[in-house]
């Protein structure tokens, strides 16, 4: 989901969308905790974006908001790595964002934490934080989402069947910025998940 935090939309000079903006990331982009984010040659700035990620536990098709989270079996921290220059070019041309979002290693995912609706974890009261070499770049709360996690899942399920194992990214708070080779990026669902990745050049 793109631009699901109002202040992030504004920092990119974009309006808050009237409806969710969807994009795909291929499973070849997925890496784990400790794996390296590889910056491809010649594509300009590559930015970090810390996000709450939901894992689908059972198929969801046309579910309503009240039952949507019953289809989630785990949560984690994600880094929606984005080739920003390529994304801006795609936006200007009215093209999809797939290439800007989909390079190998462009989706670090932390360890999955089991989730149940009645577990006491409120998905709209989680703190997100991202640091680069120990410096805080992003700090926000899922309470600031334009569309809640449940609303996003319900909306996605109106046009595609979400299969068990699918991952839904829910947007990033403000503070996105470039990563450089040699840096270390830490994404956190504070108190729940810590995801750390070194950055290297191709």
Please tell me the CATH code under which domain 6-115+125-201 is placed: 3.90.850.10
Query: CA 144 to CA 166: how far, in whole Å?
Result: 24
| Pair of tokens at residue 10 | 């504004």
50 beta partners: 79
The pLDDT value recorded for residue 192 is 96
The pLDDT value recorded for residue 17 is 81
Our CA dihedral for 56, 59, 62, 64, rounded to 10 degrees, sits at -50
The pLDDT value recorded for residue 118 is 80
The pLDDT value recorded for residue 51 is 98
DSSP letter for 181, please: T
- Write down the domain spans for the chain: 6-115+125-201
Residues 159-163: contacts with CB under 8 Å, at least 24 apart: 161/59, 161/60, 161/61, 162/56, 162/59, 162/60, 162/61, 162/71, 163/56, 163/59
Angle at the Cα of 48 (from 34 to 20), degrees rounded to 5?
120
The pLDDT value recorded for residue 62 is 97
Three-state SS at 81: coil
Query: CA 71 to CA 16: how far, in whole Å?
Result: 27
The pLDDT value recorded for residue 113 is 97
Of 79, 85, 86, 53, residue with least CA distance to 137: 79
Residues of the chain with pLDDT under 70: none
């Amino acid at each position: 989901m793109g631009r699901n935090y109002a202040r992030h939309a504004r920092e990119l000079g974009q309006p808050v969308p009237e409806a969710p903006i969807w994009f795909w990331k291929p499973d070849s982009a997925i890496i784990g905790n400790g794996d390296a984010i590889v910056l491809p040659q010649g594509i300009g700035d590559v930015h970090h974006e810390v996000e709450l990620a939901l894992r689908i536990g059972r198929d969801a098709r046309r579910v309503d908001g009240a039952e949507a989270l019953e289809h989630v079996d785990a949560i984690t921290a994600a880094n929606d790595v984005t080739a920003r220059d390529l994304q801006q070019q795609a936006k200007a041309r009215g093209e999809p964002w797939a290439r800007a979002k989909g390079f190998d290693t462009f989706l670090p995912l932390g360890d999955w934490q089991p989730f149940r609706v009645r577990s006491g974890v409120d998905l709209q009261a989680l703190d997100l934080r991202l640091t680069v070499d120990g410096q805080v770049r992003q700090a926000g709360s899922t309470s600031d989402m334009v569309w809640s996690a449940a609303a996003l899942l319900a909306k996605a399920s109106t046009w595609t069947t979400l299969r068990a194992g699918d991952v839904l990214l829910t947007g990033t708070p403000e503070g996105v910025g470039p990563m450089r080779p040699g840096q270390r990026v830490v994404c956190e669902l504070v108190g729940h998940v810590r995801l750390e990745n070194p950055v290297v050049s191709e």
